[in-house]
Each structure stands twice: as structure tokens, then as C-alpha cells.
A and B are shown apart, each in its own frame.
Chain A
Amino acid sequence: MAVLKINGEDKIFENSVPSTLKNLLELLKVDQTTVVAEVNGQIIPRGNFQNTVLRDGHKIELIRFVGGG
């Protein structure tokens, strides 16, 4: 069993966490062209989603634009 903390909530994976940030976004069906991601407090540029390796226990923030004034 492995865990990622995504947007403040634990997400449990049966065997291991998705190997890269790109794989996680695909699994969650999150649009990669508009999302901003932080892994353990570090902003990951969009071009680096593919080579950002995820490990058990990583904290991930997935953020995007919403309407606002």
C-alpha cells in the first residue's frame, strides 16, 4: 500500500503510487494544459510533469484557475 496526499487528502494506492506526475494526472483525468502542480512545496513547471518521479508519502497540490475578481 502507498499513499499520496493530494490537495490535503490521502489517496491510497494498492501497490505503488503512479511513477510520475504525468501518470498521476492521467489517472485523475486532470487537464495537463491548465493545471499547476506542486510536489512537496516545489512548483513543477508543466514541461517537467513527465520526469517528476513520485514516491510514497509525497504531498501534491493540483491547482487551476477559477472565476474570481
Chain B
Amino acid sequence: MKDKLIIAGKEFSSRLFIGTGKYASNKIMADSIEASGTQMVTVALRRVDIQNPQDNMLAAIDRKKYLLLPNTSGARNADEAVRLARLARAATEINWLKLEVTPDPYYLLPDPVETLKAAEILVKEGFIVLPYINADPVLAKKLQDIGTATVMPLASPIGSNQGLKTKAAIEIIIAQATVPVVVDAGLGMPSHAAEAMEMGADAVLINTAIATAGNPVKMAEAFKKAVQAGREAFEAGSSGVKNQADASSPLTGFLRD
């Protein structure tokens, strides 16, 4: 049986989601998305630049191949996030939404109180809500209980490439999850993504580590392989960690008297 990820009834064969920020060009972005094998990409909403209204990154994304996941980045509280969510729905005519509420511009850490408040409103309005949260198991449980489609705990601050700093808390989130767990933010190298997948995360979301790599297309491919390897290792099951050696070669039949 082929391993599938299912979010809100939709099947994904790729467990790697891609953010579209920070690419040097729309062409590099499109090529990186293609190389990653992803089926879902995040986008942000901003005001049209009236002086340069033609710039349209959406044209570079094949919406038949990739599900758009609009985010509420820039929202500092629940009201702003809900407003952005409604605008995103008007733009895409679909209900999928990455909910993020980040009042602090320095660490960009998500506000748990405002995120929960916005999620309650948006779930009631029929949105498929994928909330970006700190790796807080209590909050994750509250969100899944009110009907979010996933929980998306951060590995470390957005764009920091620090890797899985919140590992112990994410393990608890995975252990108690009733919805897919997507590790989002801070994964800087494919090994970080593999580690998250080996732990049993259902998917990872990568932006900065690919978009700002020396060769983004190659890095996208590397993340694709790492996510697959990590997932397969999780399914295979670890043989466990021991405190002492456990010989791989037989301990009998040595050539000595």
C-alpha cells in the first residue's frame, strides 16, 4: 500500500510543503517547487503595488499541480488574521488556510491566545485551518479539539535554519495528535527534515532553507529525498538505542586458541 498523507480528506503523496518567499526569481521558485515534488505551496497576501501592478507571482505556479495554501502572515492579532483569511478565500475560492499570528517582528513567534481565538472563528466559517504554533502540546491539543486540520509546530524561529530545537515538545505533540503534525519553520538542512520525519511528523514545511540556498533547485531535491528517507525510516521502525555495544559480527568462531 502506498503511503499517503491525508489532510481534511485530501490525499498528498508528498510530505514536503514549500513556502514561496525569498526566491531570487519566479523562475527559480517554479523550478524549485517542481524539483521538491511538493503538492502544496504557501503564499502570502499583500497590497498591490499601484506603481508596479503587473508583478504577479501566481502566474508562475501551476494551480492544477499545486494546492495553494494562503497564509495570514503579517497578522498581529486574531482580527487581522480573520480578515486576511476571508480575503484569501475570496482570492483563491478555496478554504485552505495557514493561520499565523505573529505580533513580535524580531523572533516572529506565534501568539497562542490569538491563534486559538482566530482558529475558533475560522473553523466555524468552514475554513480548513492549518495553524502555525509554538511547539506547545497543550495548545496543539486545544486546536485539534476545536477542529483544525493539522497542527504546525515550529522547529525553531522562522528562517533561522537552526533545526529541531523543540524536539522534545514536538514528540509529545506527535504522541497525542489526532490530526497530522506538520513541522514548520526553522528546518535548515535536509538532515533536520529527515530527523523530524523519523520522529513521526506527518510532513514538513520548508521555505528559507531552499529559497536562499546556493542552488535552490538542488536543495529542493535534497529535501525531497530527506523527507522520503525520514518517512521510510519511521515506517520501518528504529531498532532502538543502547548504552553498550551489540556486536554486528558473530562472537563465536574466532581464529584464536
Contacts and interface: CB of A to CB of B under 8 A. Distances in A.
B7 interface: no
Interface stretch (A12-20, A24-32, A51-59): A24-32
Contacts of A28: 50, 53
Contact of B73 (A8, A30, A44, A69): A69
A22 B46 CA distance: 20
Interface string B20-56: 1111000001000000000000111111101001101
B207 interface: yes
Interface residues of B, number: 35
Contact of A7 (B48, B54, B159): B48
6 contacts: A29-B53, A29-B54, A43-B90, A63-B48, A66-B45, A67-B20
A67 B53 contact: no
Contacts of B45: 36, 63-66
B47 A7 contact: yes
Given A43-B87, A63-B87, A68 B44 contact: yes
A62 B45 CA distance: 10
B71 A64 contact: no
Contacts of B156: none
Contacts of B159: 69
Given A29-B53, A63-B47, A69-B20, 17 more contacts: A7-B48, A31-B54, A34-B91, A35-B91, A44-B90, A62-B48, A62-B50, A63-B46, A64-B45, A65-B58, A65-B70, A66-B21, A67-B21, A67-B29, A68-B71, A69-B44, A69-B159
Interface of B: 19-23, 29, 42-48, 50, 53-54, 56-59, 68, 70-71, 73, 86-88, 90-91, 158-159, 185, 205, 207-208
B20 to A, nearest CB: 4
A2 B23 CA distance: 40
A68 B43 contact: yes
A36 B91 contact: yes
Contacts of A68: 19-21, 42-44, 71, 73, 207
Nearest to A7: B47
Contact of B50 (A7, A43, A45, A66): A7
Contact of B44 (A6, A9, A46, A65): A65
A65 B71 CA distance: 10
A64 B48 contact: yes
A40 to B, nearest CB: 14
B84 to A, nearest CB: 9
Contacts of B48: 7, 30, 35, 62-64
A65 B21 CA distance: 11
Contacts of A65: 43-45, 57-58, 68, 70, 91
Contact of A64 (B21, B42, B46): B46
Given A66-B43, A67-B29, A69-B21, A45 B90 contact: yes
Given A29-B53, A34-B56, A66 B86 contact: no
B44 A67 contact: yes
A67 B50 contact: no
